[in-house]
A and B are shown apart, each in its own frame.
Chain A
């Protein structure tokens, strides 16, 4: 195992994140604060409670998920896309590092970055709303698994993308709508029955639901399903990456 390689890629990626600290940290804090002001204070004051918690508190897990999913995908996808685009990928391909080590370096860095952002948003929410986290260890566990699985997904997108447009396409057109429609800002029980059934095909529903359970003890779907959904999604991503590395898809000519 080439641990030096994993560390080198991880350090390189974390340095890149630190270089763009303003964009990485300040931007999610600002957007979350705006969400709290608009949804929590303005609109939330007209809504009594959802599943027994105030609306402002109810949206916290969804807001964290929204940022964490988008950040995991974009950090990991850009991480591997950048050397592909600049040509510096030659170094990764000619290094004595296996694809597992290369993936680990990029994915761990992207996951760390989004985990930190998730925790910062959680910290910010404490400034606006009183929240008690019922199952803190499950909350951290869900958060970490989500960061990792979506960083894996982002890594696949980064290898697949041939240009910047394709790189933006998936986060913009797939991830964000899935998060918004995945019960981030509402309980899916608020939807008409047909839409409740359709929503169950959205994997993000399971993430948000499980995460919200860790906070408030109430969930749209059972926690077991949520854990299975995240684990399943991670396994699918790992299988795709294994295939990419075996075939050299869009990496090795």
Chain B
């Protein structure tokens, strides 16, 4: 896949002196779903604002579809749709007019068929003549998405799409992302919900304190950094790890269980030998469970590891 967004050595320092981005370089591939993962204040929204033209670059360059975001902003911005984090809407405007406004603003003639298609996709068609103030919070968020799609962008930025929405709407949002991806739209979402990145992203970039800590295929990332744990429950709980099992680096788990951590990448996990050594140590197995570390564990490791 070719890169559709290219961020090169981008820096951003606000007038207050706060350095939101140190030096960030990042390439976003056409058609992918990229999750920008990071704690609050990491620089996620700043990075999006710079790509979309809401904030000014302090240093570096950004190109979108091969065009520079500063010198050729008309070309870049027509390609981009942005769904902001907050519900920034004119409360007294009708849903359909709000969409028409965005489409016009982005330089496109009105297209009622397209507006109907987008509103139907977002289950907003019945509400098209409602004023935004009359809608629920979840509906308002859908309106923001509808507005961002009003000019059929090739790139969609979703800034914290799940902040403050219920589970049903979140799942709905994931479905919409999936449909848009199938249409070939490149989607960049910022989130601090790991579950979200894990569920819908193709690649994950972790950003913290204004720097990209890592960018990788989600599956690869989980394979490389994913540890697996085996929790061994014994007939007679133990209060210490037997000396003969010391080479395995076992830990004592809750309720006198033994916890064995192993690397899924290894050719040999050592499980067979461990189980036979447990038996040789005179212990009897009652149950065995395994646990794959989640993206959340990986993320916490990365961010905490940096802090230490």
Q: Report which A residues bind B (CB closer than 8 A).
A: 2, 4-5, 7-9, 11-12, 15-16, 19, 82-83, 86-98, 248, 252-253
Contact = CB atoms under 8 A, between A and B. Distances in A.
A145 to B, nearest CB: 27
Nearest to B108: A4
A91 B76 CA distance: 14
A4 B77 CA distance: 15
Given A12-B97, A96-B78, A90 B54 contact: yes
B106 interface: yes
B105 A90 contact: no
A96 B86 CA distance: 22
Given A8-B104, A12-B93, A83-B90, 11 more contacts: A4-B108, A4-B109, A12-B101, A86-B89, A86-B91, A88-B89, A91-B102, A253-B15, A253-B49, A253-B54, A253-B56
Which of B73, B89, B105: most chain A Cβ within 10 A? B105
Interface string B52-96: 111110000000000000000111111010101010111111000
B93 A5 contact: no
Given A90-B54, A90-B84, A248-B56, A5 B105 contact: yes
Identify the 9 closest CB pairs spanning chains A and B, nearest first: A8-B104, A87-B88, A96-B77, A96-B74, A94-B52, A95-B105, A2-B107, A4-B104, A88-B88
Contact of A96 (B55, B56, B107): B107
27 contacts: A4-B104, A4-B106, A4-B109, A5-B104, A5-B106, A8-B100, A8-B101, A8-B103, A12-B97, A12-B101, A16-B92, A86-B89, A86-B91, A87-B88, A88-B88, A88-B90, A89-B88, A90-B84, A91-B82, A93-B52, A93-B54, A94-B52, A94-B54, A94-B82, A96-B74, A97-B105, A253-B56
Given A4-B108, A12-B101, A253-B55, A90 B14 contact: no
B192 interface: no
A83 B84 CA distance: 14
A5 B73 CA distance: 15
Contacts of B55: 252-253
A84 B97 CA distance: 19
B77 A19 contact: no
Contact of B54 (A12, A82, A252): A252
B44 interface: no
A96 B106 CA distance: 6
A57 B278 CA distance: 108
Task: Say what secondary structure dominates the interface of chain A.
Answer: helix
A93 B14 CA distance: 17
B84 A87 contact: yes
Interface in B221-264: none
Contacts of A82: 90
B128 interface: no
A98 B92 CA distance: 26
Contacts of A90: 54, 82, 84, 88
Contacts of A4: 103-109
Contacts of A97: 105, 107
Contacts of A93: 52-54
Contact of A91 (B73, B97, B105, B107): B105
Nearest to B14: A253
B141 to A, nearest CB: 14
B143 to A, nearest CB: 11
Given A15-B97, A91-B147, A8 B82 contact: no
Interface in B10-49: 14-15, 49
Contacts of A15: 93, 97
B78 to A, nearest CB: 5
Given A82-B90, A94-B82, A253-B56, A5 B107 contact: yes
A8 B90 CA distance: 14
Contacts of A248: 56
Given A12-B97, A12-B101, A252-B55, A95 B106 contact: yes
Given A12-B97, A95-B77, A96-B73, A86 B104 contact: no
A91 B144 CA distance: 10
A181 B30 CA distance: 63
